[in-house]
Structures are given as structure tokens and as C-alpha cells.
């Protein structure tokens, strides 16, 4: 008898079905001592996690796509369509915001977990747009599951995001530079406990409508000029409810079955990044979710003991979109070169990304929080033309070294960075497909990073395509 059968406590009868499966119970008086239960439980299938180790846009989409080729399930656990993940397959550039990048693997199930905030028009538009680009998305609806506990981002959340940014600008002289996708306001509704979830939308629409109006009124009371089309949005949501219903699942049970059932490869695609994490990032210039490893457990219902390998994605230099301190930023020719060679424009907002040298203090801090098993180092090819390359290795304030990454943004703005200068290789690495073929200076750059972080580099990216990822071990 499968262990699921112990979940309901009904004496000797067939209990109410769980996700359509009958649950048969043993009579209570006949329960035998199961000797195997006395040994500690060992996880069966562990999840492999891919996380951003800087300020986002490290190339997570590409790494996930690579690993997703033989995955059974690919999950998103946090964030929303503030993320923009690019995957290039057969020269077609797909961009994903809410859909896991693994949706391109026709044999895998894509899963959007409870920790994600979903803007429904955004989700369906994203699918339509990618469907027009190539064959990769065909049949996506058949392989997508969405947790019934995920919260919904409404159009008025996005409008509120814009108003809050304007207010910050007026009151404090600067804003956060959000993506205006309604992420902060939607997570605020979740924390304030008046948010609405997928399970609300696909249940009794009348009840949903009532709660929706109350939530809209709540925001209207705060922002009287808020442009809310309650009637129009409700009509649209009713249509989305029908499209959504077949995709909705009990996310906790779905993950439990995947983790404890027959062998399965489960991949988690982190969105945003460590330094944008609401707890560990450069607060307040952060997003509103946990983009570090803890978000995998809370955003999917994965017990910590089921977390396996955690891969950190590190860009060979540093970029940041939006506002906030950036110690190794190069507001000069070097920054311009990285920006133009790296085509550093935001996938979600089209904004120009700020660029600078690789900051290893920051990546080491991300490693402290995430415990990376190994690193995927991306965009090494962008450094190909540089005669020398600098790497940030220590922060100092008033000449005194800081032991770690500071919490206080005033301190971070004041740090001076100690750099190590490494020789460049000044030749193209784009066609290189093995570590040994890389120029010695590029090998040295990689070894320097490993040595500083005490974490192995497992992959090195030298181009946009799947093929241009060198595997080291
Ligand atoms: P994500 O948000 O972490 O998934 O990253 P983005 O997709 O926002 O940004 C990364 C950009 O770099 C995308 O345009 C990728 O196609 C591109 N990219 C990823 N890896 C490499 C690489 O190794 N070399 C080059 N030249 N481009 C890369
Ligand atoms: P991926 O997954 C880069 C940044 C925004 C802004 C701050 C808050 O593609 O790496 P939000 O809209 O989340 O409230 O904005 O966070 N930001 C990102 N920057 N890549 C991302 O995602 C980001 N997601 C959020 O630019 O500064
Ligand atoms: Mg991105």
C-alpha cells in the first residue's frame, strides 16, 4: 500500500479521494508495527536548484535550459514577471518571465509554485509571444501545472507599483527602479492577508468577485487617483479562470509525489538574485521575495532535506538594473564596453543595465547564504578584448577592511574596493568548447574565482547558445 494511503484517517473505509485517487485505510485495530518506520527517513528525489548570485540577469535561463533537457519537472518558486530569462535554441531567442525556461523540454512538466505571484494576462501573453517565435512552446498548456496556493497579481497592483514609484521620486528624490509589474504590491497583499490566490479564482466566482472588490477598494482608499477598471478586469478574470482551471493543482501534493515517488529529476529555476533578495539583498533596493535557497522550500513546499545541488550563476562581470549602490560599477569606457559587447539591456523593461567589474565579495556573500555546490560562470566571452581585467576582492571603509557584505546601504555606498588585476587574453573564446582550449589567461581567471570562493566552476559560458557552455566536470 502506498504511503499516501496513511494521509487520511478513516477507519477501514475508502476515504474521500485525494486528487482523484481513492484512499483506502487499514482498520485501526489491525495496524502493525512497521519496523522500517524506525529508521530516519532519507529523501528519495532531491531537487537541483539554479540561483542568481549577483543582481540578476546572470544567465539563469540558459543554465536552466541546459539542465532542463533531461529534467522531468522544472519549477519556479518565487518572483513573478519581473524576471526575464533568455534561452536561445536553434537561433530562436525565447524570453520567459513567468513560465519556467524548462517549458521548452516537451517531455518535462513545468510547475509554477505557491511562492510565485502570477499576472494572468502576462502569463498568457508570454506564451503567445513565444509561440510565434518558434516551435519550442507548442503544447505548453499540456505540460504546465500551477499551484492553487499561488497569489494573483492584478492590473491594479501594477498601477499601484507605478504610483508608489512616483511617490518615492517626489518624496525622497529617488525611486527603486522597479519593473512596475506589480510585484511589491502583490506580495504586500499576500503579507497583509487580503490577497487572492489561484484557488479563489477557480472556485466560486461570486465569492472571488466580492474579495476582489474589497481588495480594489482597499487600494482605492489609499490611492484615490488609482485607475481601476473593476468591471473590465473581472470580465477578463472570469475568462482566465476557465483557461486556468485545467492547469491548477494542489502544489504541495504535486511536489510531495514528485519527491517521494519513482526516480525523477526535479529542477528549480530561481528568479531575480541573491542581492535582490528581500532579506539578504541591498535593501530597500531589492525585490519582494526570497530569491535565495530558502525560497525554494517556502515557494514550493519542498522540505529542506530534499534540496540537493545548488548551482550559483555568476556573470564574469557585474550588472545591475535599477537603482542602488554598486561598488564595482564602471561609469566609464570599461562600463560602456561591457554594456555594448554584453548587449546589457533588461529583458523585461528594456532598460540599459549598469556594468562593472566582477565583485567577488558580493558573490562570496551570496555563497554564504546559498551554499553553492558549484558555479556556472557566464559571459566570459564578453571580456575577450580586454588587455587586463580587474576583480573586486575586498571592501574597505576609512581604510579598514570589512569582514563581509554590509547590511547598511550608506556603508555600501561609501566602501572603496580593493582590486586584483589579472591579465586579459585578447582573443575570441566564442568557438571554444573545452577548458583546455581556453587561453591560459582565461583559465587563470576561472581558477582565481574558484580559489577565492572555494567553490568549483562547473560550466563556463562563451556565447548565447546551448552549445556555447563549456562543461568542466
Ligand atoms: P537571466 O535573467 O539570469 O536568465 O539572464 P538574462 O536572460 O536576463 O540575461 C542574460 C543574457 O546573456 C541573455 O541575453 C543571454 O542570452 C545572454 N547569455 C547568457 N550566457 C551567455 C554567455 O555565456 N555569453 C554571451 N555572450 N551571452 C550569454
Ligand atoms: P532576472 O530573473 C534584474 C530589480 C528591478 C528593481 C528591483 C525591484 O531576470 O534576473 P521589482 O519589480 O522586483 O519590484 O523591482 O529589482 N529586478 C531585477 N533586476 N533581473 C531581474 O530578474 C530582476 N527582478 C527584479 O530592476 O531594481
Ligand atoms: Mg533577466
The number of distinct structural domains making up the chain is 2
Q: Which of 181, 190, 390, 464 is catalytic?
A: 190
Q: Band of the pLDDT at 310, cuts 50, 70, 90?
A: very high
Our answer to whether residue 190 is catalytic in this structure is yes
Same domain, 172 and 142: no
Our answer to whether residue 34 is catalytic in this structure is no
pLDDT score, position 3: 40
Supply the Cα-derived Rg of the chain in whole angstroms.
24
CATH of the domain at 161: 1.10.300.10
Our answer to whether residue 218 is catalytic in this structure is no
Section 267-274 average pLDDT? 98
Residues 6+ apart with CB under 8 A from 222: none
Three-state secondary-structure class, residue 257: helix
Average predicted confidence (pLDDT) for the chain: 93
Greater model confidence, 136 or 2: 136
Does a structural domain hold residue 3? no
Q: Band of the pLDDT at 9, cuts 50, 70, 90?
A: very low
d(CA 231, CA 213): 10
Domain-terminating residue out of 225, 246, 267: 246
Segment 131-150, tens digit of pLDDT: 999 999 999 999 999 999 99
Same domain, 292 and 327: yes
Place of cell 537541483: 48
pLDDT score, position 23: 61
CATH of the domain at 290: 3.90.170.10
Please state the three-class secondary structure of 304-346 as a single string.
HHHEEEEEEEEECCEEECCCCCCCCECCCHHHHHHHHHCCCEC
Which atom belonging to ligand 2 lies closest to the Cα atom of 324? 27
Ligand number with the minimum distance to the CA of 119: 2
Q: Band of the pLDDT at 221, cuts 50, 70, 90?
A: very high
Same domain, 269 and 337: yes
**Rounded to 5 degrees, what are φ and ψ at 181?**
-95, 10
Cα 132 to Cα 95, 106, 120, 137: the distances in Å are: 12, 17, 19, 9
Domain extent at residue 200: 151-246
pLDDT score, position 448: 98
Does a structural domain hold residue 4? no
Same domain, 405 and 311: yes
Strands (E), 69-193: 73-76, 85-89, 92-96, 109-112, 117-118, 144-147, 151-152
Q: How far is the CA of 417 from the centre of ligand 2 (A)?
A: 24
Section 67-89 average pLDDT? 96
Domain-terminating residue out of 198, 230, 246: 246
The bridge status of strand 354-356 relative to strand 318-320 is: antiparallel
pTM of the model: 0.94
Mutate to test the pocket of ligand 1, among 54, 79, 85, 86 (most ligand atoms within 8 A of CB): 86
Amino acid at each position: 500500500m502506498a504511503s499516501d494511503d496513511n494521509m487520511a484517517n478513516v477507519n477501514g473505509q475508502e476515504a474521500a479521494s485525494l486528487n482523484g485517487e481513492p484512499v483506502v485505510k487499514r482498520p485501526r485495530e489491525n495496524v502493525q508495527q512497521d519496523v522500517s518506520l524506525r529508521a530516519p527517513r532519507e529523501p528519495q528525489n532531491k531537487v537541483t536548484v539554479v540561483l542568481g548570485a549577483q543582481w540578476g540577469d546572470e544567465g539563469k535561463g540558459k543554465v536552466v535550459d541546459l539542465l532542463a533537457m533531461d529534467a522531468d519537472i522544472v519549477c519556479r518558486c518565487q518572483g513573478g514577471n519581473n524576471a526575464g530569462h533568455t534561452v536561445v535554441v536553434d537561433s530562436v531567442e525565447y524570453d520567459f518571465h513567468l513560465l519556467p525556461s524548462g517549458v521548452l523540454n516537451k517531455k518535462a512538466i513545468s510547475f509554477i509554485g505557491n511562492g510565485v505571484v502570477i499576472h494572468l494576462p502576462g502569463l498568457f501573453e508570454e506564451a503567445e509571444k513565444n509561440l510565434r517565435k518558434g516551435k519550442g512552446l507548442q503544447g505548453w498548456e499540456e505540460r504546465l501545472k500551477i499551484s492553487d496556493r499561488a497569489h494573483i497579481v492584478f492590473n491594479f497592483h501594477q498601477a499601484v507599483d507605478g504610483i508608489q514609484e512616483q511617490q518615492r521620486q517626489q518624496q525622497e528624490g529617488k525611486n527603486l527602479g522597479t519593473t512596475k509589474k506589480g510585484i511589491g504590491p502583490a506580495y504586500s497583499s499576500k503579507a497583509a492577508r487580503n490577497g487572492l490566490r489561484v484557488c479563489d479564482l477557480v472556485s466560486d466566482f461570486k465569492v472571488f468577485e466580492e474579495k476582489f472588490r474589497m481588495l480594489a477598494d482597499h487600494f482605492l482608499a489609499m490611492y484615490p487617483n488609482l485607475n481601476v477598471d473593476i468591471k473590465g478586469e473581472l470580465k477578463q478574470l472570469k475568462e482566465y479562470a476557465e483557461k486556468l482551471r485545467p492547469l491548477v493543482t494542489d502544489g504541495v501534493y504535486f511536489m510531495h509525489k514528485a519527491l517521494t515517488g519513482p526516480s525523477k529529476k526535479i529542477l528549480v529555476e530561481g528568479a531575480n538574485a541573491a542581492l535582490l533578495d528581500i532579506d539578504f539583498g541591498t535593501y530597500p533596493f531589492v525585490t519582494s521575495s526570497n530569491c535565495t535557497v530558502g525560497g525554494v522550500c517556502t515557494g514550493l513546499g519542498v522540505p529542506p532535506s530534499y534540496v540537493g545541488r545548488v548551482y550559483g550563476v555568476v556573470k564574469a562581470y557585474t550588472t545591475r538594473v535599477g537603482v542602488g549602490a554598486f561598488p564595482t560599477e564602471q561609469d566609464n569606457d570599461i562600463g560602456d564596453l561591457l554594456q555594448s559587447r554584453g548587449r546589457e539591456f533588461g529583458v523585461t523593461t528594456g532598460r540599459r543595465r549598469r556594468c562593472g567589474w566582477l565583485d567577488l565579495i558580493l558573490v562570496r556573500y551570496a555563497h554564504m547564504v546559498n551554499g553553492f555546490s558549484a558555479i556556472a560562470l557566464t559571459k566570459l566571452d564578453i571580456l575577450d578584448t580586454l588587455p587586463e581585467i580587474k576583480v573586486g576582492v575586498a571592501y574597505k571603509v576609512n581604510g579598514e577592511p570589512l569582514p563581509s557584505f554590509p547590511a547598511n546601504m550608506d556603508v555600501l555606498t561609501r566602501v572603496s574596493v580593493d582590486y586584483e588585476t589579472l591579465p586579459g587574453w585578447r582573443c575570441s573564446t566564442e568557438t571554444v568548447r573545452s577548458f583546455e582550449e581556453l587561453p591560459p589567461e582565461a583559465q587563470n581567471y576561472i581558477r582565481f574565482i574558484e580559489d577565492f570562493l572555494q567553490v568549483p566552476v562547473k560550466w563556463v559560458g562563451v556565447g548565447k547558445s546551448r552549445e556555447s557552455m563549456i562543461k568542466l566536470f
